Structure 1
Amino acid sequence: MVRSLKNIQRIKRKNRGSKKGGGGDSSSSSSVPSAPTKVWQPGVDKLEEGEELQFDPSAYNYLRGFSIGWPCLSFDIVQDSLGLVRTEFPHTVYGIAGTQAEQAAWNHIGIFKLSNISGKKREVLTTTKNNESDMEDSDSSSDEDDEEAGDESVLPILQLHKVAHQGCINRIRSMTQRPHICATWADTGHVQVWDFSSFLNALAESETDTSRGGNSIHNQAPIMKFGGHKDEGYAIDWSPVVPGRLVSGDCKNCIHLWEPSSETWTVDKNPFVGHTASVEDLQWSPTEADVFASCSVDGTISIWDTRLGRKPAVSVKAHNTDVNVISWNRLASCMIASGSDDGTFSIRDLRLIKGDSLVAHFEYHKHAITSIEWSPHEASTLAVSSADNQLTIWDLSLERDEEEEAEFKAKMKEQADAPQDLPPQLLFVHQGQKDLKELHWHQQIPGMLVSTAADGFNVLMPANVETTIPGAGSS
């Protein structure tokens, strides 16, 4: 378990990323200008004195950092009413974030709006009724294509409201059906539910100026507070099928079910127990109202059915070390991904969960996996963050093409000393954040990711992450 951000100094570092198949991170020495360009390999290479990492702006359609003050261990993107699928710049993002302050009383929940996000026009694939794909928003001659990701002349606008929160926030989640309702897991051992409608409405109605909502911290009581867990925890998830249904898991291996009741919740005091160690993450099934999954320090993933009692319906040994995070694929509900403390992550087919369910296993990352999430727009794509300071994007539909690979290696050999053994499914590598903790895809903006680390947030849109969206098409 690699989680806490407390007492970590923030280090100013340049954002840098690489687009597999085009450009990459490079290091160059100021004392030896003629030194050949070299692709940086995290966990393998070390910077020499006078060297610095540089990012390739062509790898991004957008890249920008921002901060809400204290480091943030967990955040969530809040669904808005600006459109279900948005592909045109400028973009606006709403979110909630919890702090990890030096003192318990200094913590707050940040409700933020990031607007005026202007980047490069990107290609979006639109499916027709015949499932054929057409290119949209493609204009290779556009002046925007010549701009760097996040042109300094076009700055985003951050507006922020702060609500006091006792204790550090281990995890925070917004309800899909009612996004203004949010749940927090505190290191004090309490799970709380909040109504942030007034703050989100104020942000929606505000003019896009440089106002941040001031530095004042509002005092607002939660609409529900549960202290029945015997320890703090990190696992919490809202049901995407039943509005208001919630599960929360703690470090004492107990999981509690929350059922909505009028304007409050009824929490079952009889916990679900099956793991032998801390419950690290929880995910509701995207299709089944009574089914959820959990993962644990005991190395297992369990599937639970609330109709079948308080024991797991099935458990599988998933990793040799702590299973830190899981993600249930909402576009292909038979697939679940898990990330481990040893840096590995795996994909399993739940239809084969009682047998050999392993579909894929990757050992690319050098340190613990801290977050994993399937793309909401591409069933075969997922993003992973690790304590090795990398955010990676993977496309499981990609296979090794020896001819294409030979051409790529020949091209890269002319430009830089490139690694030879990258997995073919590795689509993108983003670096530059210190101690990455959590990432989320934006559900309404295809190709956009937000990540949090010890030194703040990044908003990124990789240039080579293609997205297919449903279109009217013609028969």
Structure 2
Amino acid sequence: MDKDSNFHTWQSRMVPLMYDCFYHHNLHWPTQCCRWGAFLEESTYKSKYRCYFSEQTDDTEPQKLISANIDVMKAHVCSSEVVTMWSEFSRCPYIKDQRIVYHPGEVNKIREIPQHPELLVTHTDSPELYLWNMEKQPNRSREKGSSKASNAPNTPDLRLTGHEEEALFPLATSDTSSYVASGGSDKLVLLWSLQDNMETLLAGTVGTSSGKGGKSPELSARTILRGHSNTIEDVVFKPGSTEQLASVGDDHMALFWDTRSGAAPCGRIPEAHGKGQDVQCVDWDSQGHLVATGAQDGSVRIWDLRRLGSGSFSQLPAQACMAVFRVHTGAIIRLEWHPLERGVLASGGEDQIINVWRLDPDSAASVPLEEVGALPAEGKKRKTTPKGADSDEPRPQELIFQHVGHRRGKVVDFQWSRDSSLPWTVLSVSDDAADEQIGGGSMQLWRINHLIYQDEEAVVAELEKHRDFILKGINAPELETLPRTDEVSKEKASINMDPPANQENAKEVMNDNSKRADDVAEAPTPTDTMEIDEKEKAAVENVSNMDEK
């Protein structure tokens, strides 16, 4: 079976079982970033949110920073028909561009100010950072077809200065106050406080009054941190803090900072992923105990700061490494702890896969080092970490989910939803520029089926409610929460939306869309589709027999 057949089999058979909601949105241009925005409104079956992403264009079009509205189906609402009928070449009808800002240079990274999510900070291919009020900036999409249309970039509401060389990717904002951190090729970590500029930023008077390509006010860095010896790749604030940070880079180190104790690092992990391995990304869990790092070799390491004991430290001991995972087959580009679920981590990168891990943060500090994997210097590796995705070795028990929807390009960014009404929901993007058929980017929204991450007792209890339907096909569950007919009709309409610019693929896409339209038209009812094979029936019966005993 070829790759296309495998993918379509996954889409039609596995997606309805693995996901509670799934959107695919084809982008005309490659992208490097995506972020959730503010909650906007709620209706019967869905909730509307803002989201942000970029498009990296060529010389024929301006670089773009885009604000979009996304209608997210509520939990347990999407039918299997809705989550499987998308096409890789189509744009999702539930995601609609709301505002387009012409950006001065390619957008490499976006971070929102959590207290004011309409305020975005962007990294580009320059030493400066830009800050935007996305609710006040002129909407350039309205200029299309106008005689006044111009490719001149919008004027940022604020420019953050201080880097001596280009700062491409490392960018973070504090969740407690309006602080921004950045790293660059100059080996510096810089911090800015936006407190004194907040009134002007919220008013948005600079971006609307300065015109296109106008001059923005500058804000110099408040703090300069020195300690890295090569390009910095990522930086993150400790949750709940504006003074404590972690950063990683091409010097193979992870450094820890506390600005209250000075401008030098208060802790370091030399050769964090082994000798010669660039460390690409870092994140700090919501409890402040665990730090995750991802590296060029595809490995993910978990560091337990509670193993340090009391007091400050200059070098993190090997005993602080509580786990090493080697499942990814390409460099790790992004990882993020779940903001609402303790011990849950997602990682993604060049192998086009997002892995979701679940650790036990409460027992982490007491697990013996020899059982969880040692640093390379100790010559020991965790036995349950296969070298590649195709390995026959057992997978780590901590790996609970793999998202393989971005098959045409590397995963460059993703973010967990921080809204408790969207449990286990992720927004992710891939750079598909290298793919001859797509040649742009893909944005996906996906929510993991709750039966995958709930504990066994809760799953069995829920299945028991539908025992008769699962085993005998009778007493079907009520389906009043499924999307209304007009909702599904809109989804069907998406099949023929925005065909790809590459005309060589037009016929293939039309045939694919036609087949999908026929499949949808002849699709069985939700009741008919809820079938299980004999093996599944036997498994359920075994659980039932065990309960009776």
* Alpha-carbon distance between aligned partners in 1 of 2:112 and 2:123, rounded to the nearest angstrom: 12
Give the C-alpha shift of residue 51 in structure 1. 6.5
Give the C-alpha shift of residue 156 in structure 1. 1.7
Give the C-alpha shift of residue 75 in structure 1. 2.0
Give the C-alpha shift of residue 90 in structure 1. 1.7
| 1:337 aligned onto 2:292 | yes
Residue identity in the other structure for 1:109:
L
Q: Is the 8 A contact 1:63 1:461 kept in 2?
A: yes
Specify whether residues 197 and 267 from structure 1 end up closer, same or farther in structure 2 by C-alpha distance, changes over 3 A only. same
Q: Is the 8 A contact 2:112 2:118 kept in 1?
A: yes
Q: Is the 8 A contact 1:248 1:282 kept in 2?
A: yes
Give the C-alpha shift of residue 175 in structure 1. 0.6
Deviations 1:101-150 (A, max 9, x none): 223962010111112x337618xxxxxxxxxxxxxxxxxxxxx5554526
TM-score (norm 1): 0.70
Q: Is the 8 A contact 1:176 1:240 kept in 2?
A: yes
Pick from 419, 425, 433 the counterpart of residue 448 of structure 1. 425
Pick from 160, 176, 181 the counterpart of residue 98 of structure 2. 160
Q: Is the 8 A contact 2:53 2:67 kept in 1?
A: yes
Deviations 1:393-414 (A, max 9, x none): 1111499xxxxxxxxxxxxxxx
Q: Percent identity?
A: 21
Give the C-alpha shift of residue 268 in structure 1. 3.0
Larger relative strand fraction: 1
Q: With CA pairs under 8 Å and 6+ residues apart, which has the higher RCO, 1 or 2?
A: 1
Q: State the Cα RMSD in Å.
A: 3.2
Pick from 166, 171, 193 the counterpart of residue 259 of structure 1. 193
Give the C-alpha shift of residue 218 in structure 1. 8.8
| 1:379 aligned onto 2:342 | yes
Tell me which residue corresponds to 1:281.
Answer: 234
Pick from 284, 289, 293 the counterpart of residue 246 of structure 2. 293
Q: Is the 8 A contact 1:120 1:149 kept in 2?
A: no
Tell me which residue corresponds to 2:398.
Answer: 425
Pick from 315, 320, 328 the counterpart of residue 365 of structure 1. 328
Residue identity in the other structure for 2:344:
T
* Alpha-carbon distance between aligned partners in 1 of 2:231 and 2:336, rounded to the nearest angstrom: 21
* Alpha-carbon distance between aligned partners in 2 of 1:111 and 1:146, rounded to the nearest angstrom: 29
Residue identity in the other structure for 2:175:
P
Give the C-alpha shift of residue 311 in structure 1. 0.8
Tell me which residue corresponds to 1:93.
Answer: 49
Residue identity in the other structure for 1:319:
H
Residue identity in the other structure for 2:429:
T
Give the C-alpha shift of residue 224 in structure 1. 1.2
* Alpha-carbon distance between aligned partners in 2 of 1:190 and 1:81, rounded to the nearest angstrom: 31
SS at match of 2:117: coil
Specify whether residues 341 and 78 from structure 1 end up closer, same or farther in structure 2 by C-alpha distance, changes over 3 A only. same
* Alpha-carbon distance between aligned partners in 2 of 1:294 and 1:94, rounded to the nearest angstrom: 29
Deviations 1:388-435 (A, max 9, x none): 111111111499xxxxxxxxxxxxxxxxx9955222111111113111
Q: Is the 8 A contact 1:90 1:119 kept in 2?
A: yes
Tell me which residue corresponds to 2:157.
Answer: 223
Pick from 446, 449, 470 the counterpart of residue 460 of structure 1. 446
Q: Is the 8 A contact 1:366 1:388 kept in 2?
A: yes
SS at match of 2:136: helix
Q: Is the 8 A contact 1:323 1:340 kept in 2?
A: yes
Larger relative helix fraction: 2
| 1:348 aligned onto 2:303 | yes
Residue identity in the other structure for 1:295:
V
Deviations 1:163-202 (A, max 9, x none): 01111111111110011111011113321111112369x9
Larger radius of gyration: 2
Tell me which residue corresponds to 1:239.
Answer: 174
Specify whether residues 199 and 156 from structure 1 end up closer, same or farther in structure 2 by C-alpha distance, changes over 3 A only. farther
Residue identity in the other structure for 1:457:
M
Deviations 1:348-402 (A, max 9, x none): 1123353321111101111100110011121111111120111111111499xxx
Q: Is the 8 A contact 2:119 2:133 kept in 1?
A: yes
